[in-house]
Amino acid sequence: MAVTIKPDREFLFTEKDFNYLRKVANDYSGITVSDDKYDMYYARIAKRVRTLGVGDFAGYCKYLKNNHAKEFTNFINSITTNLTSFFRENYHFEFMVSDLIPEFKKKYATKKSLKIWCTAASTGEEPYSIAMTLAENFDLKAWDIRFLATDIDSNVLTTARNGVYEEQRIANLSKTRKSKWFRKGSGENKGTVRVDKKLREMVSFKRLNLIQEWPLKNKFDLIICRNVFIYFDGPTKEMILERYHDLLNDGGYLILGHSESIHSMNTDYETIGHTIYRKTI
Ligand SMILES: C[S@@+](CC[C@H](N)C(=O)[O-])C[C@H]1O[C@@H](n2cnc3c(N)ncnc32)[C@H](O)[C@@H]1O
């Protein structure tokens, strides 16, 4: 293993500790943890070692094993990478406006309903960007749009439900969008913005682990799963792609992150655009 142990750190973190923690993380979440994540694991979990007063990482491993119910969620929340932003990979939103929404409007002109699932929603910027795009292009009084957003990390879901962000996170949005969809905080909330109630009410946030059971009954017209496949190995991706396929309505769409092409994989999706796929059969 290429991990360089740094014994002069505040807490001892051995190769054995690292191997134990990354296996626990992988078994539960499917996230593969390469050797170069050793320092990242130290930085993320040292906080838990300090807070719990368990001495070092070996003490933390023991604590995690013996206090599974109490500590496991904290552990998982610590090791997820939640990087996201409003309108990240904007070409997907442009595609929604130019192609997807007009197609859905035509296809569902009579029933006027749509079901969408955002499967690695993180702190909410992505589902709210989708909600803004939908709200700007559909008559929400006439259309029944069901929008589910899920993530494995319970902390990010709390942030997402609140919909409160540092004002700087919306700096790149147009003036119109800022004033239409965000309310500025005042007093102790100065410097923050809150997503408008209308958008918050459009999205239902739930905790869901992509590699476990999905308590979902209804099918979706669009599944957005961006920038989480990069953490999974091939068989895990294939397994999830198959389950997405089962859960998509005929002709339903799947959108993945910019580096998550499934072009070379043997799947029943046709490629429509860059990391944009449609269920074929
Ligand atoms: C890098 S963020 C991507 C956020 C957003 N989709 C985007 O592209 O901006 C990856 C998210 O995937 C979530 N995640 C990781 N493993 C997961 C799993 N097994 N099930 C559900 N979500 C998972 C993490 O908690 C994290 O919030």
- Whether 84 maps to a domain, the answer reads no
Ligand 1 atom with minimal separation from the 257 CA = 8
- Positions marked catalytic: 44, 151
- Looking at the fold, whether 67 and 159 belong to one and the same domain comes out as no
- pTM, two decimals, is 0.96
Once rounded to an integer, what is the mean pLDDT over residues 74-81? 97
- Looking at the fold, whether 236 and 173 belong to one and the same domain comes out as yes
- Looking at the fold, whether 246 and 115 belong to one and the same domain comes out as yes
- Looking at the fold, whether 45 and 154 belong to one and the same domain comes out as no
Task: Report the percentage of the chain scoring pLDDT > 90.
Answer: 93
Task: Reduce the DSSP state of residue 270 to 3 states and report it.
Answer: strand
Report the C-alpha dihedral over residues 263, 122, 208, 258, rounded to 10 degrees. Answer: 0
> How many angstroms does the Cα of residue 18 sit away from the middle of ligand 1?
22
Q: What is the pLDDT of residues 157-166, one digit of tens each?
A: 999 999 999 9
What is the enclosing helix (H) or strand (E) of 51?
helix 38-52
* The predicted structure's pLDDT at residue 1: 59
30, 210 contact by CB (below 8 A): yes
In the listed set 25, 57, 79, which residue is the last one of a domain according to the structure?
79
> How many angstroms does the Cα of residue 109 sit away from the middle of ligand 1?
33
Ligand 1 atom with minimal separation from the 85 CA = 9
What CATH number does residue 228 fall under? 3.40.50.150
CB atoms within 10 A of CB 154: 12
- Whether 121 maps to a domain, the answer reads yes
> How many angstroms does the Cα of residue 107 sit away from the middle of ligand 1?
30
> How many angstroms does the Cα of residue 227 sit away from the middle of ligand 1?
7
* The predicted structure's pLDDT at residue 35: 96
* The predicted structure's pLDDT at residue 281: 75
Once rounded to an integer, what is the mean pLDDT over residues 260-267? 82
∠ CA 169-171-173, nearest 5°, is 105
- Looking at the fold, whether 28 and 156 belong to one and the same domain comes out as no
Domain that holds residue 74: 15-79
- Biggest CA–CA distance in the chain, Å, is 67
- Whether 38 maps to a domain, the answer reads yes
Ligand 1 atom with minimal separation from the 156 CA = 27
Once rounded to an integer, what is the mean pLDDT over residues 67-82? 97
In angstroms, the CA 50 to CA 70 distance is 16
Which residue has the CA at smallest separation from atom 3 of ligand 1?
227
Residue ranges around ligand 1 (CB below 6 Å): 29-31, 80-84, 88, 120, 122, 126, 151-153, 156, 209-211, 226-228, 231, 257
- Whether 5 maps to a domain, the answer reads no
- Looking at the fold, whether 175 and 261 belong to one and the same domain comes out as yes
Once rounded to an integer, what is the mean pLDDT over residues 87-108? 98
- Looking at the fold, whether 151 and 248 belong to one and the same domain comes out as yes
* The predicted structure's pLDDT at residue 2: 66
* Token pair listed for 108: 């569902």
| Burial classification of residue 209, based on how many CB atoms lie within 10 Å of its CB (0-12 exposed, 13-18 middle, 19 or more buried) | middle
Ligand 1 atom with minimal separation from the 212 CA = 19
Which residue has the CA at smallest separation from atom 9 of ligand 1?
84
Mean pLDDT of all residues belonging to the chain: 96
| Burial classification of residue 155, based on how many CB atoms lie within 10 Å of its CB (0-12 exposed, 13-18 middle, 19 or more buried) | middle
> How many angstroms does the Cα of residue 268 sit away from the middle of ligand 1?
24
Q: Show Cβ contacts of residue 30 under 8 Å, excluding neighbours closer than 6 positions.
A: 210, 211, 231, 232, 233, 236
- Whether 2 maps to a domain, the answer reads no
- Looking at the fold, whether 188 and 126 belong to one and the same domain comes out as yes
- Looking at the fold, whether 120 and 166 belong to one and the same domain comes out as yes
* The predicted structure's pLDDT at residue 260: 94
Q: What is the pLDDT of residues 195-249, one digit of tens each?
A: 999 999 999 999 999 999 999 999 999 999 999 999 999 999 999 999 999 999 9
- Looking at the fold, whether 186 and 248 belong to one and the same domain comes out as yes
- Whether 8 maps to a domain, the answer reads no
What CATH number does residue 46 fall under? 1.10.155.10
Q: What is the pLDDT of residues 162-210, one digit of tens each?
A: 999 999 999 999 999 999 999 999 999 999 999 999 999 999 999 999 9
From 151, 165, 213, 223, mutation site for ligand 1 pocket: most ligand atoms within 8 A of C-beta: 151
- Quote the crossing angle between the two packed helices 57-66 and 38-52, to the nearest 10°: 70
- Whether 182 maps to a domain, the answer reads yes
- Whether 36 maps to a domain, the answer reads yes
In the listed set 32, 57, 79, which residue is the last one of a domain according to the structure?
79
Of 59-68, 217-226, 247-256, 265-274, the one with minimum mean pLDDT is 265-274
- Looking at the fold, whether 118 and 248 belong to one and the same domain comes out as yes
* The predicted structure's pLDDT at residue 266: 75
Q: What is the pLDDT of residues 2-55, one digit of tens each?
A: 677 777 899 999 999 999 999 999 999 999 999 999 999 999 999 999 999 999
Which residue has the CA at smallest separation from atom 16 of ligand 1?
29
- Looking at the fold, whether 75 and 95 belong to one and the same domain comes out as no
Domain count, the chain: 2
